[in-house]
């Protein structure tokens, strides 16, 4: 039993330090003290942002603090060397070891932005209606995955195809470690099937690109000089009828140094579209900054969009056989219908474990 307790203590200590729980606890304590100040809600936006941070930190920290206390308590009991307690202590160690193994999943989310919510965009590739239908199938896959997780999904902007499917869609997913879970989904997704849009029912290959970004929570995460922005407003497009937007509410923001452009028109308010576009632009710049290993925003270069289309991460084959295979982890499933209905966790887990092993 002594060995089991020693192994549990050592493994727990390593994980506790790797996750930097004590430092996070200090940040949480500071935020909690701030929330008790009488003028805390004078700045509503800041207060809401801090409250969100508090909730996230509590979810991350409290289970580890609780387990630490329970391990300390068992260690104290063991040190008493009371033979009558040994059987009970052994049972408690087994139970806490199980609890620790469940908590170890947090070690998969040690990236700087893994605890953030996520912004995702799906772009139909070459292939006309088939590709646009494929983009919608991918969106449905992530929608069902989020629903199964109890996460909240909100559509930010959407451009539908002429016949079927979607040309592009941008949406957010809010939930615990949403970005950490989904960051490995970025890249090109390839579908092979018999085309439902082809009169000869020929086999068709379609592509769609998925972009995954950590959602910026406050301005301190990325300071952006508005002098580097070009902001255009224009008439939002629509399908006509009574609901057509007849005001110049659509907003296009271009980051001049990199050429990155974000256009949003879903909201009727120009101000709302501007805020949403700015949030997405900041997230894109932050992701680019991370990828290019730059300390300053002014040093980053524009993205190589054409190269991204060669970054194929997963193949979904519906004909002549059934298979979904990740090109990076080699994990595969012979049930694509299940995967496309949102059962993505095995692929996500395989990617996270592979990146964790590579980091070690």
Q: Are strands 312-317 and 166-174 parallel, antiparallel or unpaired?
A: unpaired
pLDDT digits (tens, 9 = 90+) for 202-241: 888 999 999 999 998 766 678 788 899 999 998 876 543 3
Cβ neighbours of 44 (radius 10 Å): 9
Give the lowest-confidence range in 143-152, 240-249, 287-296, 309-318.
240-249
pLDDT digits (tens, 9 = 90+) for 42-77: 988 888 888 988 988 898 899 999 999 999 999 998
Q: Spelled out in words, what is the top-level CATH class assigned to the domain 2-108?
A: mainly alpha
Whole-number average pLDDT of the chain: 87
Displacement of CA 115 from its chain's centroid (Å): 8
Contact between 234 and 273 (Cβ < 8 Å): no
Q: What is the pTM of this model?
A: 0.78
Alpha-carbon distance values, 82 to 2, 85, 250, 358 (Å) = 13, 6, 73, 45
Mean pLDDT, rounded, for 106-133 = 90
- The fold of the 118-218+309-359 domain, in CATH, is Alpha-Beta Plaits (3.30.70)
Instruction: Give 219-299's CATH code, choosing from 3.40.50.1970, 3.30.160.20, 3.60.15.10, 3.40.50.720.
Output: 3.30.160.20
pLDDT digits (tens, 9 = 90+) for 136-177: 999 999 999 999 999 999 999 999 998 899 999 999 999 989
Extents of the domains making up the chain: 2-108, 118-218+309-359, 219-299
Give me the residues paired with residue 203 across strands.
194
pLDDT digits (tens, 9 = 90+) for 336-350: 999 999 999 999 999
């Amino acid at each position: 039993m002594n060995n089991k307790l020693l192994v549990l203590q050592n493994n727990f200590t390593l994980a506790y330090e790797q996750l930097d729980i004590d430092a996070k606890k200090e940040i949480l304590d500071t935020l909690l003290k701030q929330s008790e100040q009488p003028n805390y809600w004078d700045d509503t936006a800041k207060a809401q942002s801090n409250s969100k941070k508090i909730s996230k930190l509590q979810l991350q920290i409290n289970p580890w603090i609780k387990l630490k206390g329970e391990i300390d308590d068992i260690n104290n009991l063991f040190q008493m060397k009371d033979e009558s307690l040994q059987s009970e202590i052994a049972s408690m160690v087994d139970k806490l070891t199980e609890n620790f193994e469940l908590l170890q999943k947090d070690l998969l989310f040690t990236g700087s932005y893994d605890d953030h919510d996520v912004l995702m965009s799906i772009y139909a590739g070459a292939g006309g209606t088939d590709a646009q239908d494929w983009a919608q199938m991918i969106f449905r896959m992530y929608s069902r995955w989020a629903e199964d997780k109890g996460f909240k999904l909100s559509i930010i902007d959407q451009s539908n195809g002429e016949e079927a499917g979607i040309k592009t869609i941008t949406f957010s997913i809010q939930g615990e470690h949403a970005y950490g879970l989904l960051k490995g989904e970025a890249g090109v997704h390839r579908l092979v099937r018999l085309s439902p849009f082809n009169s000869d029912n020929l086999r068709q290959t379609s592509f769609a690109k998925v972009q995954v970004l950590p959602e910026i929570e406050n301005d301190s995460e990325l300071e952006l000089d508005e002098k580097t922005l070009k902001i255009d407003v224009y008439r939002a497009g629509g399908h006509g009828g009574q609901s057509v937007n007849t005001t110049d509410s659509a907003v296009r923001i271009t980051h001049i140094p990199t050429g990155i452009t974000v256009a949003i028109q879903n909201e009727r308010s120009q101000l709302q579209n501007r805020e949403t576009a700015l949030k997405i632009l900041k997230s894109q710049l932050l992701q680019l900054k991370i990828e290019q290993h730059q300390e300053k925003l002014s040093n980053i270069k524009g993205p190589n969009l054409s190269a991204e289309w060669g970054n194929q991460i997963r193949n979904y084959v519906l004909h002549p056989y059934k298979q979904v295979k990740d090109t990076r982890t080699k994990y595969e499933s012979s049930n694509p219908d299940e995967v496309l209905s949102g059962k993505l966790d095995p692929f996500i887990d395989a990617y996270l474990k592979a990146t964790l092993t590579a980091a070690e």
